[in-house]
Amino acid sequence: MERNIEKTYDPQGIENKLYEKWMNKKYFHAKMDRSRKPFTIVMPPPNITGKLHMGHALDNAMQDILIRYKRMQGFNALWIPGTDHAAISTEVKVTNQLKEEGIDKKELGREGFLKRTWEWKEEYGGTITSQLKRIGSSCDWDRERFTMDEGCSKAVEEVFIKLYEKGYIYQGARIINWCPVCKTTISDAEVEHEEQAGHFWHIKYPIVGSDDFVIVATTRPETMLGDSALAVNPKDERYSDLIGKNVILPLLNKEIPVIADEYVDMEFGTGVVKITPAHDPNDFEVGKRHNLPQINILNDDATINENGGKYAGMDRYEARKLMVSELKEQGLLEKIEEHSHNVGTHDRCKTTVEPLIKQQWFVKMEELAKPAINALKTGELKFVPERFDKIYLNWLENIRDWCISRQIWWGHRIPAYYCQNCKEVIVGREIPKICPKCGCNHFEQDEDTLDTWFSSALWPFSTLGWPEKTKELDYFYPTDVLVTGYDIIFFWVIRMVFSGFEHTAQSPFHTVLIHGLIRDSQGRKMSKSLGNGIDPLEVIDKYGADALRFTLVTGNAPGNDMRFYWERVEASRNFANKVWNASRFIMMNISSTKAEEVDLNTLTGADKWILSKVNKLAAEVTANMDKYELGIAVQKLYDFIWEEFCDWYIEMVKPRLYNDKDRTKKAALWTLRTVLIQSLKLLHPFMPFITEEIFVTIQEEEESIMISSWPEYNEVWNFETEENEVELIKAAVRGIRNVRSEMNVPPSKKAKVFVVSESEIIRSTFENGKVFFASLGYASEVLVQSNKTGISEDAVSTVIPDAVIYMPFAELIDIEKEIERLKKEENHLKKELERVNGMLGNERFVSKAPEEKIIEEKEKLVKYTQMMEQVKIRLEQLEK
């Protein structure tokens, strides 16, 4: 049965149709099958508040490439999709929605608010899921998970209780990131550090018992109200006599000590720093070492509290303004310097974050970090590329206890209950019936919820049914590869690794494949504020998902950022068109979609060459894929398909296809079809839609390319001799084309081509390849001989290894017409040279013209002089 694809490649016409087919056929679903080796990837769960951006597109395209590759290799490939409840961002969205309706979330109460949030999730939470499908993500959607679904919530509760019982979870007062607008602690991941113009205020602290003072430079003068000490470096000779003395804290007029601590950088500022343990993480550690009081000066809304004396009740920045003014009045402000510094802001509401001491729930990290460190050192876990090993180890080896509580309603509520009589804290799976300490039966649950990262840290195993000992967990876990950007190694990857060891005694994956960021064409990070973001769906609507995927992977090296150019998407679309048109040409020439085997001995040298090439390509691409070199693999595919297959082989075989009497026509058709199918299979993980449409049309043995077998190297298809022979002929063709191009000979002008070589092997090579060599070399006739007999003296030549190719000059061009053309060119150049020499010889021009213009005219003089010399040489040759 003869079938063909549409004349023009239209991604919009095939992509949705094919994705629906794959879904209906359950190709993405991985059933339990212990006879097959599993390969598992868990999707980094995008926020339910999110919409697809270029980072998502890259991350998921890479995962899909790996999962399709492994599926074709015969692995039981499972890609688990899911979304994250995104605690703070979701709460902000729902709160804002309520505000628009004139409702305060406090009026609804916790239960009412959560009901509205679940409704919001059902309505909008699936947006990004549907968008992921547009790029061809072959996830097992039957296993889709949500960080707050019943199973994941059970895992979170189990982990909290287990860690609490082991003493790893505790309540304590430590420095945290506080958002005064959202009124919650936030994780380091949610703090964006941006360079802001600020000031250094140099403030005089009078020395007790002296008329002298010491100067301290600070970027946050309002935090003076919480100063517990000044610190100097013990090695700093400038201040050695100050250590142990007291200074007066300006404005509050109270004495604080001067201490020595190596934390102080002698080269920075004045070499004296104020220590405010309740408002700076480093000061907090210094304060602990020296047993300093921790004085919190801020309310939850960032107004000054009662510890701020007369400034109590003022906004932090209003207080700063007044304090600076009063310091100036009292002669205690030495100077103010302009100073740019990094300021932490909440990524959701853009409010400047305050580090401050709060009573929160924390996870002790020292013991949990050890197996995660050991995993990298023993090779149980590896990063691609390896340079991220150092970042991972550095973070783990300097890890601080993890603050896991949040003061919001949306999220996993902390399973801790407080006795309302004696304040005993009981952690458990349900509300206690009686207090073991005082016998009271009235309890209230902790109001706080858990950090979003607490649940996503369990993602690789909670999605497979843990804490239950499910068959899926036993079979598909540990997972294999985690694909993620370098910006969340610390926040997510590390937490998954130590959680995996703690709760399953294994690393949750053996490899972490790190990719970079997609930047705009100027190299800037894409952001809403810059307005330079590119919507992946816009790219798909214009060029198709395959073109987007191909663009994102081309030139992409693990861990490196890349720039997005629309021109590259167009190039990817052009490549898709090339594949489509070549496939259509092949289909128009084959009479059946059924495969017909041929004897390899009937193949010509050209057939064996391309078969050998695609055979080696399969081995190379497989090796690249196994090393996660996706960018290298896709470039090899591009080069082979565009150049070797389309530009060379298809052109080589055309004379055989158009000649029904050619006995090798059947071999040519078999080779075309075979190499195309192999190429499509290798290309499929990168461009799933176009390869599927062509594959199911050109053959009828298999119903989908995505469940076909991955090409493997076949020793029977290794034709080294024929490869070398065809490469030699290609070199001759290139030489001929270069000569003709230099002489402006159009392709329509045919000429005799003589191949002269003393080597019998080379002569035999060209004799066997005469048919396609003549076609590619624009030859009217190909003559292969051992010497120059019969070749005119005026013949032009090109040299290849052990042979010379000649073409009679008179057959390439019409000598009389060429002489006429060259004389016209000579006259034109003569006038141009006269004009340029005239200008450069004119003193008035040279003295008044801009330097750029003079340089331009001098360059023209050199160019025209060289051109005139070439024209004269050519005319002399022709007139002979």
Q: Which residues are annotated as a binding site for ATP?
A: 528
Give the Cα separation of 439 and 437 in Å (integer): 6
* 125 within 8 A of 84, measured Cβ to Cβ: no
Q: Among 315, 319, 347, which Cα is nearest to 182's?
A: 347
Calpha distance 139→60 (Å, rounded): 10
CA atoms of 222 and 274, how far apart (whole Å): 12
User: Rounded to an integer, what distance in angstroms lies between the CA atom of residue 625 and that of residue 633?
Assistant: 7
Task: For 79-96, give the DSSP string.
Answer: EE-EEB--HHHHHHHHHH
Q: Using CA atoms, how far apart are residues 547 and 687, in angstroms rounded to an integer?
A: 8
Binding-site members are 528
Q: What ranges in 590-648 are assigned the alpha helix state H?
A: 605-626, 630-639
- Among candidate residues 714, 426, 717, 725, the one with its CA nearest the CA of residue 600: 717
DSSP string for 442-504: -EEE-S-EE-HHHHHTTHHHHTTTTTS--HHHHHH-S--EEEEEGGGIIIIIHHHHHHHHHHH
Is-cis flag, bond preceding 711, omega within 30?
Answer: no
Give residues with Cβ within 8 angstroms of 806, minimum separation 6.
Answer: 753, 754, 756, 788, 791, 795, 796, 797
DSSP tag of 648? I
CB within 8 Å of 814: residues ≥ 6 apart? none
What span, in angstroms and rounded, lies between the C-alpha atoms of 512 and 589?
46
What are the helix and strand counts (H, E) for the chain? Answer: 29, 29
Size of the chain, expressed as the number of residues it contains: 880
Dihedral angle computed from the Cα positions of residues 362, 367, 372 and 374, in that order, rounded to the nearest 10 degrees:
160
Give helix 815-840 / helix 851-879 axis angle, nearest 10°: 150
- Mutual angle of helices 720-742 and 605-626, in 10-degree steps: 100
Across the chain, which distance is largest between two alpha carbons, in Å? 121
The long-range contacts involving 811-819, CB below 8 angstroms and separated by at least 24 positions, are 811/750, 811/751, 811/752, 811/780, 812/740, 812/743, 812/745, 812/749, 812/751, 813/743, 813/745, 813/749, 815/878, 818/878, 819/875, 819/878, 819/879
Residues 587, 697: Cα–Cα separation, whole Å: 9
* Residue 397: CB atoms within 10 Å: 9
- The answer to whether 550 and 594 have CB atoms below 8 angstroms apart is no
Q: What are phi and psi of 519, to 5 degrees?
A: -105, 170
Give the tokens for residue 747.
């392709």
Give residue for tokens 């801790």: 416
> Cα 343–348–354 angle (5° rounding)?
40
d(C-alpha 238, C-alpha 774), whole Å: 89
